[in-house]
Amino acid sequence: MTTPVVHQTTRIPIGAGGVLVVDKPRGPTSHDVVSRVRRLFHTPEVGHAGTLDPMATGVLVVALGEATKLVSYLTADDKAYEATLRLGVGTASLDAEGEVVETRPTDSTWLDENAIAHALEVERRRTAQVPPQVSAIKIDGVAAHARVRRGESLDMPPREVAVRSLIMREKRLDPPEIDLAIEAAKGYYVRSLGRDLAATLGTVGHLVALRRVRSGSFGIEGAWPLPENVREVTTPPALLSLADAARRVLPPSTLTEEGVLRARQGKKLDDGCFDGEPRDGPAAWFDQAGTLVAIGERLRDDDGAAFARVIRGFRVW
């Protein structure tokens, strides 16, 4: 497991960018969190990496300034969750925020040790998962949850998923609930896990609690508890610097002076533009002083010759 983030105590210019790991409370949407951070830091350049449902709490990685260019990389790694699944009650959204659509009388066989062990193993082996209809997935350019609110019934296509770890932490009979710990790859829906696990147990179910405890290398330890009113915050939290954030999500490469010049001009680079052996694929490119210059990738042409190109450049401050 990767090491959780510990925030730096040194402030950085907001325009230069940085990352804030927020401990999201229950209630606000991920967009609400972004709005509060914008007000707190007085900047419009804010984005988040990996949506959390309003009911969910925990790690939400927020990028500011130039760090918004890292969002697709910040959200790419595995995530870990703690969840509570209630059995016998199904909801439209698969969580406690949704309308109850089905109930079944409590059956003690749902919590049989062997039955739970089998259901967990089925989910550990799952490679394709049907997302919830109430989700942010875009269908013909419109979020699925918006289409559901308009009264549409959607046929959500399954998506490839990977479960790294799934264990039961505790179970209770009244009401019938199972506490779970999950680690999964990007794109996994814990609400869908609750639906599918309940189905294997012969019933319906929904999540009554969901907490993300890790997103990639960004853990709940040291995450900033988001207040309801950011105007009451007298000292904004410190940010993880742009350079350190890039090093957490991408392999680093160091450029020569010529390499820095060519990268800033958006030109192709050869291997001589790197200090040491360049890495294939996407990497964070730094100058000799450790300043992030660009995200770039090393490729090969049709003849097998190596070259590198800039994917995203970063402003000089």
For residue 217, the 8-state DSSP code is T
Phi, psi of 131, deg, nearest 5: -65, 160
How far, CA to CA in Å, does 253 sit from each of 111, 286, 309, 315? Answer: 52, 6, 13, 18
Structure tokens at 83: 């969840």
Tell me whether residue 53 is one of the annotated catalytic residues.
yes
Phi, psi of 39, deg, nearest 5: -65, -40
Tokens 């490839």 identify what position? 160
Q: Report the C-alpha gap between 310 and 65 in whole angstroms.
A: 19
Selecting among 23, 32, 53, 107, the annotated active-site residue is 53
Note if the bond before 175 is cis, omega within 30 degrees: yes
Phi, psi of 79, deg, nearest 5: -130, 150
Catalytic residue numbers read 53
